[in-house]
Each structure stands twice: as structure tokens, then as C-alpha cells.
Structure 1
Amino acid sequence: MPDWLLPLLVPAAAALAAGLLVAAFLLARRRRGGVGEALAMLAGRLEALAATQERLAAATADRLRAQERLIADRLDEAAARTQAQAARIHERLAVIDSARANIEALGAQVGTLERILGDKQARGAFGEVQLRELVEDRLPPGGFAWQHVLSNGTRCDCLIRLPHPPGPIVVDSKFPLEAWNALRAAAEAERPAAARRFAADVRRHVEAIAAKYVLPGETAEGALMFVPSEAICAALHAEHPALVAEAARRGVWIVSPNTMWAVLTTMRGLMRDLRLKAEAHRIRVEVDRLMEELGRLDRRVAALRGHFAQMQQDVAEIETTSRKIARRGQAIQLVELPEDAPPPARAAG
């Protein structure tokens, strides 16, 4: 029962009970003949009933006002919650609109990508762009060449310049995707034929790479077939392992962007080791030249030491002669000769 219904039922029940009492009292007094007393008593009862009804009406009004205030507060709270929920719903709708816009943009990009992959020249350019980013990120500038022309007149997408062995390695980025798209779009009954067509196209591409890009004495004994999709490369290895093994026997290794990254990292380490060996050889040559110069310096210092020793000996002999000359001069000064005396004989030495 609602809380507001009880205050309304209480006065009605009280009035009904009072009426029943008055009716019973009148019946009793009528039997006894005391109508006046009954009327007086009835008037008193009615006055008391009126007062009680007034009090009940006042209490009912208070209860109704309290219920109205309570209902108003609850309505305000409900309105506030509704507004907050509406605000959250608007925020979520904004997020959903943004996500929908992103999905539409992504769908447009996917459509553009499908058009690119559907066109053979655009697909080749797309694979070459991926390959270019990988190669230029991992290898030094002098370690590769784009659109290099081999001795047989064939222009390759990329030539990685490794020393012999193994020699320069050619990377081809023009993977055939028509058969793959047909295989993906084929119905269940048409999938075996589509799979055979896909394997045949890949086999022809492997044969072309082996014939054009594997040149004994000029390139390495193998070449790389770059597949610009991890899903296609995984499908090749999982569903056509015999084809992958046949390509390896022909010297064509199938690589995806991730495996190409690992291969380029290994090649980068090999090139760095070769550069270190070349620099070590240059250092060895310079050290040998330095040792030759040190030997030449030792010989010249020894010659200078000999010249210095000879100079010391000559100076000592000169000093000895000077001392002898000084003694002879003193002796000559001490000799007193007569005026007619003959000159003394010249001493030898």
C-alpha cells in the first residue's frame, strides 16, 4: 500500500465508526424513551468527533506535505541522475561517433590498399617501399643499391653488396597476389583449384627469380623473394611446405617483413665484421710503416752517435795539440839567446 493512502483512509474509518456508534446509541435511547439525553450525548459525541476529525485532517495535511516534499526530493534526485546518465550517454555517443569515423577512414584505407594490391605496378611499388624502409634502416648506405642492372641486362629491385663469399644478394619485391586474392575469395568447393593456381603462380615466380637473379661469379648462390605480408608468408610455409622447400633448392629464400628484418640484421653484423677486418688490416699496414720509420731513425741516431764520437776525438786531439803549442811557446819565451848565436834546430813533430 502506498504511504500517501494511509492518512486518507484513517479519517474515513473514524467517520464510519462514529456514524455506527451514533446509530447504535439512537436505537438504544429510542427503546428507553430518553431521546433528549440521547440527542445531547450525540451532540457531545459529534463535537468530539469533529475535533478528532480536525486533528486527523491537520495530521493528514502534514503527512501529505511531508510526502509531497519527499516525492519532490526523490524526483529531483531522479532528474539529476537522469541528467548525469544522459551526459554519460552523450559522451559515449561521441566516442562511438569518433570510432565510427575511424572505422570509416580505416575502411577507406583498406579499400585503397586493396586497389593498390590489385594493380600489379602499384603492388610492386608498395612492396618496394616496404623493402626500402627495412633495408635503409638496417644497412649502411654503401651496403646496397636500388634498381641495379646485372650483367645479363636484368634490373633488380635491390642488390645487397656482400663480399665473396657469399657475394651480392638480389632481393625481389614483386610477389604475385592475384592468385592469393582469388584463393581468399573462393568458395569452399573452389578452394582446391584456387590453391593449385596460387602454388603454380608462386612456382613460376620462383623460377623467374632463380633464372634472372642467380648468376655464378657475379651474385650469391641464392636470392631473396620478399613477401610484403606476414599472413601470406605464414600460409605459404603452413599450407605449401613442399613449394617452400623447392624454392630453397633453387636458391630462392622466401622472406616476410619480420624475417627480412632478421636477415638484414645478420647481414649488418657481417658487414660490420668485414669493416673491422679492413680497418685492422689498415692499422697493421700503418704499424709496419711506423716500425720501418723507427728502424730508419735508429740507424740515423747511430750514425749521429758515431759522428759525435769522432767529433769528440777530434776536439781532444785539437786540445792536445793546443797544449803542446802552449808549452813550446812558454819554453821559447824562457830561452835567452846571444845576438850572434845560430838559430836552434827545428824539432820534429
Structure 2
Amino acid sequence: MTLGTFQFSFGALVLCFGFLLLLALFFLIFSARRTTEDDDRLADLADERQMREDQRMAALMKAHAEMQGRMAAMTEVFGSKQAELNRTINERLDGLTHRLGTTITEQTRSTHENLRTLQERLAVIDAAQNNIQSLAKDVVGLQAILSNKQTRGAFGQARMETIIADGLPMGAYAFQDTLSNGNRPDCTIRMPNGQPPLVIDAKFPLEAWNAIRDATTPEQKKIASQQFRRDMEVHLKDISDKYLLAGETQDTAFLFVPSESIFAEVHENFEGIVQRAHRLRVVIVSPSLLMLSIQVIQAVLKDQRMREQAHLIQAEVIHLMDDLGRLDDRTRKLQSHFLAAQKDVDMILTSADKLNKRGAKIEAMDFEPAPELAGRSNAPGPRETSAESRTGLLKLRVVDED
């Protein structure tokens, strides 16, 4: 066979054709092997990607389980704190309820006692009104009573004793007490601070006074007035001589007049008698003045008793201040407990807010693969996938730390 200037034999052509055929066969085998290796590589990459996705999903499930465990622990802590807070509040409410009940009971008892005292005073007022009515009936017979000298003296003595007994405590006075000279005044009042007693005489010369009242002519009235003046001067001199003893009695004595009208007329019409009484250190007193004097003496005695009991009062004041200090300390402790409880409630609310935020962040997470990644024909390389996994784990760690 001639090809141009070259001549080939049939055997050479067969050899050439066989060589080309072998070459084509080798190329086909190499292509098929390369295609198989690419398929295996793609399968390995897919398996590796699936394994990394499984690892990432396992990590996410582990983080989710840890988050649920922490949420359960925090829920348990919140429940215990809530129970403790409820128990503390209930105890304090029980204490306050007990104190309030005690206070109400005491107030009720005090109110009942005050009502009972008021009823007793109303009963006393009713009795006094009945006594006044009875006294109004007995005024008619007062003239007959005063006509007798002994009865008249007993009447003045009774009025004086009533005023003194009503105004002074027992032991602060004595009736018909005997002095060192043997005389017995109608009443002696013991003065405070070891001072001598005060003497009161109730024997007012009422006969001469009644004679003045009964006089019908100026001459009779003049004679009766002179007799009354002499009787008063004699009686004042007797009081000064018998009852004013140096060191044993006070320097001044009282002459009790059993009527306010007689006392007023004596001071108005018999100024000389009043002046002589002052010179003899005898004070003429009416029932009102005697009552006022008794009240002054009572105040002095009360002041003396308070001075004598000053150390007891001071001790009671110290105890009162101690009780007040304890009350202040307990009030401040109660206030600190309330502040601590409020702080615990605020911390619990803060923790609950954090839990809500974390739950919202977990709920907002998307664990499905992105659609653009699923549609790619070429899978990402190992380094890129590893970087995405690390980024996702880092985001979970940041969420957990928040």
C-alpha cells in the first residue's frame, strides 16, 4: 500500500490499527477509573459533611439538654426561694395578726373598763342628786338644828371633817388630837418635810351672829354687833393661846366658818375682827377657802411623795427607755427583713427575665440547613464546614453565657 511517498505493508497497517485500538481502550479505561474516583471522592465528602452535620446536631442537642437542666435547676431554686419567701411572709403576717389581736383585745378591755367607770360615776352623780334633793328637804329644819349650841358645833365640825376627809388621804390629818398642853383642837393636818401640823378650829360663835340677824331695830343690831365682836376677839385669843405652840404647831391657825354668806359679811362689815385675826396669826376660812387650802396641801404632799419616790420613777423611766430601745431595734430588724425580702424578689424577677430572654433566643434559633446550601452542586470544603461548625458552637456558647 502506497501513501504518498511512503509504502506500507498490510501487516504494518494492522499493527498500527491495533496500537490505536489499544490506545483508545486504555484511554477509555483511564476515563472510567477517574470517573469512579471522582464519584468515590464526592461520596466521601458527602459522608464527611453528614458526619459533621450529625456532630453539630449532637452538640446542639447536648447544649439544649444542658440548657434544660439549668432551667430546671433555676426553676427549682426559684420554687424554693418562693416557698421560703411565702413562709417568711406568713410567719410575719401571723406575728402581726397576733399583735393586732392582742392590741384590739387590750383596747376592748380598756374600753369596757372605761365604760364601767363611767357607769359608776353616773351612779355616783345620781346618788349625789338624790342627796341634794334630800338636803333641800332638810334645809327647813336647819334653823332648829342651829338653835342648839352643841348641835351647831357638831354641824360645823361635820362640815369641816367632810371637806378634809374628801381632800386628803388617810394619815395626813387627825381629829381631836391632843397637844402637849392638853388642849384638843378640832383638826390637825400633818405637813410635809417634817414640818409642824396645821391646826383648824370649827367653833365659830354663831349665837352672836344669829342675834345680829334677828335684831329688828338699829339699837338691837348695834348691841348684837358689839357682842359678836367681843365673842370673836375672845375666841381668836383662845385659838392663839391654846393652839399656836412654838415648834409643835404651825405659826398660823385656821378658824372655820361653816357658811359662805357669814364669811362674806364678816369681811365686809367687821374689818377690825379680820385685822385682829391677822395679828393673832389666825386665818378665817370659809368652806371654799378651806377646800382650796386642802387642795394646795394635797399638791404639796403629792410633790413630797413624788420626791420620795423619785428613784423609783427614775428606774421606771430607765426601764421604759430600755423597752423603747428594744422596740426600735426590733422595728429596724423588721424593716431590714422587709428590705431583704424585697431585694430577693427583685433578684428573682431579674432571673426570670433572663430565663425568658434565653428561651426567646433558643426559640428563635433555626436548626434546619439553609436552602442555598442544599441547592449547591459542589459541597463546601472541609475547612469551610469546620469553620461554620465552630461559628455555630461559638454562638451557642455566647447565648449560654448570656
Q: Which has the higher contact order (CA 8 A, sep 6+)?
A: 2
Q: TM-score, normalised by structure 2?
A: 0.43
Q: TM-score, normalised by structure 1?
A: 0.49
